[in-house]
Structure 1
Amino acid sequence: MTPSPAQIFAMDEIARRAPDLSDWTATIFGFGETAWREYRSAAWYVERLRAEGFTVEEGSAGMPTAFCADWRNGDGPVIGLYAEYDAVPGNCQAASTRREPRAGLGFQAGGHTDPHSGLGMAGLGAVLAIKAAMTAHGIPGGLRFTGEPAEKVRGSKPIHAAAGYYDGLAAILSFHPFYMLPMCNTVRWDTHCGAAYAMIYRFLCDAPEGWGLHDGAPIPQSHSAVRAPGANDALMLMYQTSKSLRESMLPHQGGWSISEAILTAGQATADNLPAGLAELQYMIRTPTIAMADQVTAVLDRNAAAAAAMTGCRWERHWVCKSRHGLANHAMARTVWKAMQLVGAPVWDEAAKAIAREMQVNLGMVPMLEPFLDEMTRLIDPEEAEAILRRDLPPSQLNSTSDDYTDMTWHAPTARFYVARPALKAPPGTAYPAWVMNALGGIPATIDPMVQTAAKILALSALHLLEDAEAREAAMAEFLHRTGGGVGGSDWTAPLCDYPPPINFRWPEYVTTPRGQDWWIPSAMPGA
C-alpha cells in the first residue's frame, strides 16, 4: 500500500502536532479520574474538540462523562473513532522513575494503568489529522469521535450502542495499548474479545425488627437482645459463598473470570445496630453470553440466600452487559497495511535512559536495551491468531473482554494493538505495578506509542474514505456476518436494558472544607 497524498499529509500533521499531543497526554494522565467520574477529562476533550471545529454533544446517552463529537466535509462516508480516559483506583503514580504518588495525593487515588491517557490522545491526534487532510485534499465524508468513560467496568459502549451512536457509520477503528504476545503490534483476526457482564448487588437492612421475632413478641431492648445481622454480614456471605462456588459456576472449558469489588459497606459509627447498606460489584468475563447468564443465575441465588440469612433484601443493578466481538477480515487487512507503512514504535536513547534509571532505583543492574524486544516488531495478524488459538479449545470463538465488541455489531470494525513501553526483567524477578504506570505517563516513554497509533488510525481512516472498494468490502463482510446488518438474521442485538449506572458510590475525587482529596483521605493519621 503506497500512501496517498492525503495520508502523507495526515502523518506530517501528526508529527507537527507531536508537542501538543505529548502535553495533552500528560494532562489526562495527571487527572487520573476513575470510572463514571472522569469530569475534568471529559470536559477537556469537549473544549478541545469544539476549538478544533467539531460539534460536540456533552453527556451523550445520559452519561455525564461521555460525549459525541461530529464533523462533516460534505456528504460521504463517516468513520468512527473514540477516546477512553478512565483510570484505576489504587494506582496513583507520578510520571517519575521512582514510586511516588502524584502531588497532593496518596497511592490509593486513581491512576492510569493501560494507559487510557495515551489511548485517547492517539485517537484525538488521528481525528485532527484526518480532518486536516480531508479539508486540504477535498475528501468528502465525516468523522464521529466518541468519548467512552468507564471502560474498566465495560461501561459506556454498550449504552452508546443501544442508543444508536454507532449506527450508520461506514467503519469503526479501535486501538488499545498492549505489550504481551501475540497481541502486540498487530490486528485481531478471528478471535475477538468475549462477553462481559458487570453488576452491583445491593443489600439493604431496612426492616431489621422482624428478623429476631419469637412467637410474635417484639424485641424489648435492641442493645441486649437478638438483632438482625444486617447488610455487612450479607455482603460477606455473598462474597465468600461466591468465591467457594466458582469451580461449579461454569463448565471447565473456555477462558472466563470473575472479579469483585466492595463499593459501600457498613457505617463508620460502630454502634450495636445492623448495617443498613452494603454493595458488592462483580465483573464476569466469558466467551459467550450464555455463560455469562449462567454465572449471573448462580450469583442471584447466592444473593437471595445471603439476604435471607441476615434480615436483608437484595437488588441487582446492571453496570454492563456487553456482547462478544465480531470479526471483519477486510477491516483487519486495511489496518494491517497501515501498520506496515507506519512500523512499530521506536524508543530513543532518552527513553532508554529513563528506563535504566528506573532499574537502578529498583536496585537492578541497568540494561543496555531495557525495553522488551517484541515492542519494536510487528506480528502478522494471522500469525498472531495462530499463536492465540494454541491455548484455546476449537469451539471457543472469543477470548478475554473489552467493550469495543459492542461496536462490532453496528459497523465494520477493526481492533488493533500498538506496543506500550514495558521493561525486560532479569531472570527470577518481576517489576512492581507502578513501573508500568509510570512509563505510561513519562512523555519520552509513552509518546512513541501515541504517535504510532495516531498515524495508523489516520492512515486506515483515510484509506477507507478514499478507497470505495475497500470500504465496500468491509461493509459486505459485515452484512454477511450479521445476516444483513443491524437487525439481520445473525445479528446480536444490544443487551443494554438498564440506565447508565452513574449514581453508585464509585471512587472519585472530592472537595471538602479540608480541601481537594481522594475519597479515601490521602493524609492518613501519622503519615
Structure 2
Amino acid sequence: MSPRDTALAWIAAHEKRFSDFCGRIWEHAEPAWREYKSAADYVELLRAEGFAVEAGSGGMPTAFVATWGQGAPVLAGFSEYDAVPGNSQQVVPYPAPRAGLHPYAAGHTDPHSMLGTASLVAMLGAKAAMEAHGIAGQLKLFGEPAEKVCGSKPIHAAKGYYDGLDAAVVWHPWPSNTVTSDTQFGAYWSCVISFEADQPEHWIDPTLVPIEGAHAGARSPGALDAMCLMYTTTKYTKEAMFPHAGSWTLNEFVLGDGGATSDNLPPRFSQIQYSWRSSSLGIQEQIWRVLANNARHAAGSTGCRAYVRWVTKTRVGVPNQVMTDLTWKNLQAVGAPAYGEAAKEFGREIQRHLGLEAMEDPFIESVSRLTPPEANEARLRAGLPAWQKHLSADDYVEFCWHAPTVRLLAGRPRLRPPSHGFAYPNWAYTALSGLPEAIDPGMFVAAKTMALTYIDLATQPEMLAAAQAEFVSRTGGVGGPGWVGPLLPADFDPPVDLRWPEYVTTPRGEEWCIPTPHQGTGAGEPL
C-alpha cells in the first residue's frame, strides 16, 4: 500500500468518529475569542493522537499549536471553530433557535465546525501515512480562534509562529469544489474606537450656574453622543474614503458599555468597532486615516477623549500556481462529494416549509461537481477591474507571506433557488451546516485532498522546491526586498479582554450575553 493509499484508508476508517467530532463542535457554537470548549476538545484529541500541543499560543486562551514529527519539511494547516452571533439554529428544516438561550445566540454558518474538522482529519491521515512508511517531516496544525474577526492568524504571524514553515495547505467550505488560483483574498483590518468622558465636570464653568447642584448645570454630552457622532460622521464621509472602483466594504458594531442604569449624568464610556476589507494595503490605510480623523473630531465635540484598540490587520493573499496545480490534481483523484437521499430530503423539507415546490435535487449543481481552477478564476474576475488582484478578505492570507500556500475550496450544500434572485433565509443554511449527511461528503473530500497534498509535499522534494522557488519569486522570500512582514507588532496584546459576546453562567442558568427572555427576543411591544 502506498503512502497515499494509507492516508485515504485511515480517513475512511475514521469517518464516523470525526463526523461525531464535527457535530460536537457545531453544538458548542462558541463565538470569536470565546471558543473554550471547542479548543479544549481539539487539544485533548491531538494530544491523545501523539501531537505535542501548546495550548493558549500567542497569549490567546482558545488558540493552540499542535506539532508532530521531526526534521523537514514542516507542513502546516489550521483549524477554525468559531461561530457567529445571531445565528442560533437547531438541525431542523424550519426556523428554530436553540432552546434555553436568547434567539440571537451564536451558530455555525460557514460552518467552521466543518472547516476545522476536515483540517484535523487531513493532518491525522497524513500522520498515519508518514508513520507507517517512515516519511520524514513535521506536521503543524494551528488552532485559530476568532476567524470571523480575522483575529488569531495575524497574531500568530507577528509572534513568530509561522517562521520556518515549508508549505501550508488550507481550505474553506464553498458552494463549489475547486482550488484558488491567481485571484486571492484581500486585507481585513478591524479596530475598536473608545470614547471616554473622564472629566465631564470641565465641560462648563460651574460658577456660571446660579443654582447649586450638579443636576442643574449643562452636562457634558459624554461618550454616547461621541459614539453617535462618530457613527453618523463616518456614514457621511464613507463616500469620500475611496473611489467607487473595485470592491471594498466598511462595517460597524456597537459594543455594550454596561451602563444600563440611567441618571442625569453624562455617559462615561462607549465603544464602536469598525471592520473594513479591500484589495490593497494602501486602501486600508486611507480608510483608517478617515476613521481616525472622525474619532478625534467626535471626541473634541463631546467632552471626551478618543482611543483605539486594534483587533487585527491582515495582509493580502499570494498565489502559488505549483501548489494550486498539485492540489487540483489531488482533488481530481478524490472526486466531488455526492449527497444522499437523507441530505436531499432535508433540503426539500426546507423548501416545503418556505412554500416552495420541493425539487428532486434541491442543491445547486456546483456542489456535486469539480470546477477547474481556471474556470473558477474566470468567474471571479468577470466582475473585477483589471487592476484589482484581490477580492473580499480572509485571514488565511497571513500564511502566504511565510511559506507557499494553497487554498482548497470544497462543497457544502447550498439550496437551489426556484427563480433568479431568490434568497433563502440564513437559518436554512445554518440548519444544513449541522446535518451530518449534508456536511460529511464535502468535509471528507477536503480532508482527503489535503492529506494527499501533504504526502506529496513530504515525498516529492522537487515539487516542494518548485513551490518554494515560486514563493520567493512572488514575495522576495521571507525578509527579502518584496516581502511584507506582519502588520501587528511582536508584542501585540491579543484583544481577548474586549466585550465580545459569549455564554455566561448566572443563578438563572447558562445564558447568552443577552439574558434569555421569557418570550421571543424580549424586545417588548411593537410600536
TM tier, smaller: over 0.9
Aligned with residue 471 of structure 1, among 461, 464, 470: 464
Give a deviation string over 1:158-214, Cα, whole Å, max 9, x none: 1111111111111101100111xxxx2111111111111100001111111111337
Q: 1:275 to 1:75 in 2, by over 3 A?
A: same
Aligned with residue 256 of structure 1, among 248, 253, 276: 248
Structure 1 SS opposite 2:392: coil
Q: Tell me which residue corresponds to 2:198.
A: 206
Aligned with residue 270 of structure 1, among 237, 262, 266: 262
Q: Which shows bigger deviation, 338-347 or 356-365?
A: 356-365
- Alpha-carbon deviation of 1:474? 0.5
Structure 2 SS opposite 1:223: helix
Q: Does 1:375 align with 2:372?
A: no
Q: Which shows bigger deviation, 120-129 or 101-110?
A: 101-110
Task: In structure 1, give the amino acid aligned to 2:414.
Answer: A
Tell me, in whole angstroms, the C-alpha distance in 2 between the residues paired with 1:37 and 1:504: 11
Q: Does 1:346 align with 2:338?
A: yes
Q: 1:353 to 1:219 in 2, by over 3 A?
A: farther
- Alpha-carbon deviation of 1:102? 2.0
Q: Which shows bigger deviation, 31-40 or 356-365?
A: 356-365
The percent identity for this pair of structures is 49
Aligned with residue 320 of structure 2, among 314, 328, 343: 328
Q: Tell me which residue corresponds to 2:277.
A: 285
Q: What stretches of structure 2 of length at least 5 have no aligned partner? A: 523-527
Q: Which shows bigger deviation, 434-443 or 215-224?
A: 215-224
- Alpha-carbon deviation of 1:397? 1.6
- Alpha-carbon deviation of 1:40? 0.7
Q: Tell me which residue corresponds to 1:124.
A: 120
Tell me, in whole angstroms, the C-alpha distance in 1 between the residues paired with 2:516 and 2:333: 47
Structure 1 SS opposite 2:193: strand
Q: Tell me which residue corresponds to 2:509.
A: 515
TM-score, normalised relative to structure 1: 0.96
Give a deviation string over 1:216-257, Cα, whole Å, max 9, x none: 779832223200111111111111111121110012222100
Where do residues 63-212 of structure 1 align in structure 2 (5 Å cutoff)? 63-72=60-69, 74-179=70-175, 184-212=176-204
Where do residues 429-448 of structure 1 align in structure 2 (5 Å cutoff)? 429-448=422-441
Q: CA RMSD in A?
A: 1.5
Tell me, in whole angstroms, the C-alpha distance in 1 between the residues paired with 2:279 and 2:263: 45
Structure 2 SS opposite 1:193: strand
Tell me, in whole angstroms, the C-alpha distance in 1 between the residues paired with 2:102 and 2:13: 36
Structure 2 SS opposite 1:416: strand
TM-score, normalised relative to structure 2: 0.96
Give a deviation string over 1:484-516, Cα, whole Å, max 9, x none: x21011100110123211110000000111111
Q: Tell me which residue corresponds to 2:418.
A: 426
Q: What stretches of structure 1 of length at least 5 have no aligned partner? A: none
Structure 2 SS opposite 1:500: coil
Count residues in correspondence: 518
Give a deviation string over 1:132-171, Cα, whole Å, max 9, x none: 1111111111100000001110101111111111111111
Structure 2 SS opposite 1:366: coil
Q: Tell me which residue corresponds to 1:43.
A: 40
Q: Does 1:9 align with 2:3?
A: no
Task: In structure 1, give the amino acid aligned to 2:106.
Answer: G
Q: 1:218 to 1:443 in 2, by over 3 A?
A: farther
Where do residues 217-256 of structure 1 align in structure 2 (5 Å cutoff)? 220-256=212-248
- Alpha-carbon deviation of 1:426? 1.3
Tell me, in whole angstroms, the C-alpha distance in 1 between the residues paired with 2:454 and 2:346: 34
Task: In structure 2, give the amino acid aligned to 1:107.
Answer: P
Q: 1:275 to 1:461 in 2, by over 3 A?
A: same
